[in-house]
């Protein structure tokens, strides 16, 4: 569910990137490239949070494993989109 929500936000920002062309991050990038960049950043953050929480707790729970899987999936999606950008 979280993966779908984050990816939907990325796609919405990618589609509406024409409205943000005066912002340096969005200038001269295709919609696919923007979705790829945002998915990578979000995936890295989610993976880092999952790893940090797992480090603080001595044993891994399902929540930490789920965060790390979601983060890795977002990074994977960004790589796939980056190939086509």
Which token pair is 12?
A: 């919405």
- Residues 6-44 have pLDDT tens digits of 777 777 877 776 676 777 766 777 777 777 777 788 888
Q: For residue 30, count other CB atoms closer than 10 A to its CB.
A: 12
Residue 8 in contact with residue 38, Cβ under 8 Å?
Answer: no
pLDDT for 85 beyond 70 = no
Q: pTM above 0.75?
A: no
Domain boundaries, the chain: 2-13+30-84
Residue 73 in contact with residue 43, Cβ under 8 Å?
Answer: yes
Tell me how far apart the alpha carbons of residues 13 and 31 are, in angstroms, rounded to a whole number: 8
């Amino acid at each position: 569910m979280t993966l779908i929500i984050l990816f939907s936000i990325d796609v919405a920002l990618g589609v509406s990137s024409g409205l943000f062309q005066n912002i340096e991050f969005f200038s001269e990038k295709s919609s696919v490239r923007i979705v790829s960049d945002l998915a990578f950043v979000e995936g890295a953050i989610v993976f880092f949070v999952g790893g940090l929480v797992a480090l603080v707790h001595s044993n891994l729970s399902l929540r930490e494993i789920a965060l790390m899987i979601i983060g890795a999936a977002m990074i994977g999606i960004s790589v796939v989109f980056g190939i086509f950008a």
